[in-house]
Structure 1
Amino acid sequence: MYRRKPLAAAAAAALLLACLAAPAQAGRSCEEKALSPDTFRLALATAQQTQQRLEALAVPVAIIGRVGQDLSKYGLRYTHAGIVYRAGDGRWRVTELLNECGSDRAELWHDGLGTFFLDDMFAFDTVLLLPPPAVAKSLGERLQDGPLLRTMFSARYSLTAYPFATRYQNSNAWVLETLAAASSGNRLYSREQSQQWLQKNGYQPTELQLGALTRLGGRMFKANVAFDDHPNELRYSDRIRTVSVDSIIQFFMARNEGWQVEEIAAPVQKRY
């Protein structure tokens, strides 16, 4: 997912009035594309609805997924994940890895819940993956410890980063590796260790069937897409394996540790 520019003053004011967290670094995508009033209201309604559900569930932290684009042809629904948690000031925030405006670089961002949905969304459905208490506790510890939180972070970005290599990383891979570390009781201290834990415990990435022109075109014309971290036998047969939100959910639900999934349908828009 792309890094975003700061919100205009009116938008930031609206977020504050809606009682949603709006940190200074929050904003929209790097593209100069204004959101329509209807889209803006729908994004805020989605955030408010999600916040109410989180509070009703009485959980301190969860994985949150959104539908940024239509990937139905690959059998996928949710495209981008972050970690949503209640901060010390009582507000809900989302920590997520975002791509630096289509470059090959990324950074961790700490956004308000409202800002998480202020993007070029395909749909406003939301999914929450709720960890069991022990994992939630470990995940909370990582969120409160800046250096510890970044141990699973890499600034080298690729949208199609291979799950079992450390050359690149994408948004969902950072979430997955952070969850692996939390699931170990925070006894994993590097990306290599997290990936080894995931392989040992049977994580299966999503496999995308990409045509050669799609694969080569992505490498030649987009700085944030790379395939050279994938095993040759896979990429030369146009089989690209990567981390999807769906694969994260499937993996942890199969562990039978008390994980829960909550899907929240998009708010119904009022007609005036």
Structure 2
Amino acid sequence: MIRALRRARPRPIRRLLVAALVVVGVNASAGSAPGCVAPPERDAQTQDRFFQWAERVRRDLDAAGAEVALIARAGMDLERLGVRYTHAALAWRDHPAGTWAVRQLYFDCTEQRPRLFDQGLTAFLMGGDGVDSGYLLALPLQGEPALALQRFVQDRDRALALLAARYQANARLADEAAQNCNQWVAEVLAATWSGGDGAGRTVAHDWMRAQGWESGAVTLPNRLWLWAAALTRHLGWTGQTESDLASNQMRVTLPEDLARWWRHQWPQASRLEWCLGAGGIGVHQGWARSWPQGCEVEGP
């Protein structure tokens, strides 16, 4: 059943293997990586900044008239490889765990299997590796499409029917063998948009293939990264094509892939991106703008 479990986090491993996690959509707070460690330490003042950030996000989503939003946060600092957002979830305004709380897939380190996990918005924001800063992306949705998505994701049986038995952090879209946190969200979207009856992953995958869904390619610096993935638990080459591997690439389900298909389905959809930096909290709206690396916010 869907229930809140204790939070799980990746354990530290060799830096090369950590770097290889760029291809996995790694989730620092929800345990979407091999192993668990304690969260980053934050003093009371820093925690208060995250509470203020969460409240700003709630206000902006309410002002957008949204009932549901796809949200994604920056986890590990992977900008040097062109990846900012690593972990996506679905949030809705009237979530029983709190206003704009999220439902997400994570890897249960104790039971060694994927699970679904509900989490408050502040805790979700604090799940990134940044001790005192971070980014959040949200795609708000209104009206009947939002309500249909909410009905699907909060339905216990239908949500669990899309949960794979095996977790692979660098899974790609429509991977029949495994799943990562972002791919579960993708399959929820596909099952909802296709009008699926909750029959499971096959229905969602068939619709994805018919619509031409695909993950973006992440280019790795050299083949050592590929071998690191092959030798790291919960990673691997399953689902990757020979041509991509030969080009030092992996196709992995990442939040930007979901955003691309969200916009394809709803061309008029809005895009919000927040940044918590030393100068305060800032927000950009629109598909053409993005916070530069460093999050330089002027004023509170």
Shorter-chain TM-score bucket reads 0.7 to 0.9
What fraction of aligned residue pairs are identical, expressed as a percent? Answer: 23
1:256 Cα offset (Å): 4.3
Aligned to 1:266, what secondary structure does the other structure show? Answer: strand
What amino acid does structure 1 have at the position aligned with 2:56? Q
Contact conserved, 1:159 with 1:224, CA < 8 A, in 2? Answer: yes
* Partner residue in 2 for 1:32: 38
Distance of aligned partners of 1:261 and 1:214 in 2 relative to their CA distance in 1, 3 Å threshold: same
Contact conserved, 2:173 with 2:186, CA < 8 A, in 1? Answer: no
Unaligned 5+ segments in structure 1 are: 7-26
Q: Is 1:51 aligned to residue 58 of structure 2?
A: yes
What amino acid does structure 2 have at the position aligned with 1:45? Q
* Structure 1 segment 176-195 matched on structure 2, within 5 A: 176-187=186-197, 189-195=199-205
* Partner residue in 1 for 2:287: none
1:148 Cα offset (Å): 0.9
* Partner residue in 1 for 2:103: 95
Separation in structure 1 between the aligned mates of residue 185 and residue 30 of structure 2, nearest angstrom: 21
* Structure 1 segment 78-157 matched on structure 2, within 5 A: 78-85=85-92, 86-88=94-96, 91-101=99-109, 105-122=113-130, 123-131=133-141, 133-157=143-167
Contact conserved, 1:132 with 1:258, CA < 8 A, in 2? Answer: no
1:196 Cα offset (Å): 2.2
1:145 Cα offset (Å): 1.4
- Number of equivalences: 248
Separation in structure 2 between the aligned mates of residue 188 and residue 234 of structure 1, nearest angstrom: 32
Unaligned 5+ segments in structure 2 are: 1-5, 10-28, 282-298
RMSD: 2.8
Q: Is 1:172 aligned to residue 182 of structure 2?
A: yes
Report the TM-score, using the length of structure 1 for normalisation. 0.80
* Partner residue in 2 for 1:216: 227
Separation in structure 2 between the aligned mates of residue 117 and residue 247 of structure 1, nearest angstrom: 20
Separation in structure 1 between the aligned mates of residue 201 and residue 255 of structure 2, nearest angstrom: 18
1:34 Cα offset (Å): 4.6
Aligned to 1:49, what secondary structure does the other structure show? Answer: helix
Contact conserved, 1:138 with 1:186, CA < 8 A, in 2? Answer: no
Alignment partner of 1:228 out of 238, 241, 252:
238
Separation in structure 2 between the aligned mates of residue 92 and residue 256 of structure 1, nearest angstrom: 21
1:94 Cα offset (Å): 0.5
Distance of aligned partners of 1:102 and 1:89 in 2 relative to their CA distance in 1, 3 Å threshold: closer
Contact conserved, 1:139 with 1:179, CA < 8 A, in 2? Answer: yes
